[in-house]
Amino acid sequence: MKLDDALARTIYERAALCRAFEEESFRQVQKGNIKFPVYLSAGQEYAPATVSAWLERRGLAERQIFIQHRGHSTYLAFGGDLDKLVLELLGDERGCAFGMGGSASIQSVEAGIYGHDGLMGSHGPIAVGMCYANRKPTLCFTGDAAAEEDYFLAAIGWASTKGLPILFVVEDNNLSILTEKKVRRNWEMDKVARGMEMAAFDLEDDPEQILARIDGALERPMLLNVRTHRLFWHAGAGIESTDIFDRHKAFGARVGADWAAGVNERSRKTVEEAWARNLRLCAK
């Protein structure tokens, strides 16, 4: 699929909401309003924003999505309710996981998003098993470390063998907490998947690159290894370096700086209002 102006703007708007959410969550962690570990996905918005916009453009409404702990952006990009996410981070029973999932195990029954149990990579075989059983188009978002787990690799093999309509999106931030990929392995996920006879590509988190490869996904098994850049700490509110590439800044030029600034401002307001509203609700 080609990246036209309308699609670029949809992707940008989606990513802007996710970024605003993570920046506000960062502040809420610092204020002490969130009482458990929070896994911020700032810097990783463009895989879910692009894949969800592509799905919509294709008119594919029926799908199921499996995510892991760094999932706020995936949840929001695929239509998870903003207020319920805030309430979840406040540990409230009106939250998307009834206040019991925290940041790591968010879900949305309404948006068809299944949450994670915390065992890295467990959602790989679960996603494949579900897809094998009901043959629904299935998206499985995973980290570069979770995808290394033996059971995850075996699940990729089964999806390929059975020709399942599943798309694995590896959000490859090069890190497992703080351990870089080169310390953990000498191979790449796209090569493993190709070795298992699956269409697989290694890409930057650039919407143009993702859209150039994604056509045919959810008709046959596919894996996209998308290189992302985690801006904040593994968990909690902190910054390791101010020198990290930021796709959101880079993509702002594609949609026009003035228009982008307006979108960011509106997203910031939307998110701030949602936090204020739900903090008031929980204080009652």
Ligand X SMILES: Cc1ncc(C[n+]2csc(CCOP(=O)(O)OP(=O)(O)O)c2C)c(N)n1
Question: Out of 14, 70, 72, 123, which residue is the one contacting ligand X (CB under 6 A)?
Answer: 70
Question: Out of 133, 177, 253, 257, which residue is the one contacting ligand X (CB under 6 A)?
Answer: 177
User: Minimum distance from CB of 180 to ligand X (Å)?
Assistant: 11
Cβ proximity to Mg ion, 124 vs 143, nearer residue:
143
Cβ proximity to ligand X, 41 vs 267, nearer residue:
41
Distance CA 262, CA 216 (A): 34
38 contributes a contact to ligand X by CB under 6 A: no
Contacts of ligand X in 104-163 (CB under 6 A): 118-120, 143-146
Residues in contact with ligand X, total (CB under 6 A)?
Answer: 14
3-state SS of 122-135 is CHHHHHHHHHHHHC
User: Minimum distance from CB of 167 to ligand X (Å)?
Assistant: 17
178 contributes a contact to ligand X by CB under 6 A: no
238 contributes a contact to ligand X by CB under 6 A: no
184 contributes a contact to ligand X by CB under 6 A: no
231 contributes a contact to Mg ion by CB under 5 A: no
Cβ proximity to ligand X, 20 vs 67, nearer residue:
67
Task: Tell me which of ligand X, Mg ion, none is bound by residue 234, counting a contact when its beta carbon lies within the kind-specific cut-off of 5 to 8 angstroms.
Answer: ligand X
Question: Out of 130, 175, 260, 274, which residue is the one contacting ligand X (CB under 6 A)?
Answer: 175
Q: What residues have CB less than 8 Å from 166, skipping those under 6 apart?
A: 127, 128, 131, 137, 138, 139, 140, 159, 218, 221, 222
Task: Tell me which of Mg ion, ligand X, none is bound by residue 77, counting a contact when its beta carbon lies within the kind-specific cut-off of 5 to 8 angstroms.
Answer: none
Distance CA 181, CA 93 (A): 38
Task: Tell me which of Mg ion, ligand X, none is bound by residue 229, counting a contact when its beta carbon lies within the kind-specific cut-off of 5 to 8 angstroms.
Answer: none
205 contributes a contact to Mg ion by CB under 5 A: no
209 residue type, one letter: Q
6 contributes a contact to ligand X by CB under 6 A: no
Contacts of Mg ion in 116-175 (CB under 5 A): 143-145, 173, 175
Task: Tell me which of Mg ion, ligand X, none is bound by residue 257, counting a contact when its beta carbon lies within the kind-specific cut-off of 5 to 8 angstroms.
Answer: none
Cβ proximity to Mg ion, 239 vs 276, nearer residue:
239
Positions that interact with Mg ion (CB under 5 A): 143-145, 173, 175
Q: Residues in the site for ligand X, rule: CB under 6 A? A: 69-70, 118-120, 143-146, 173, 175-177, 234
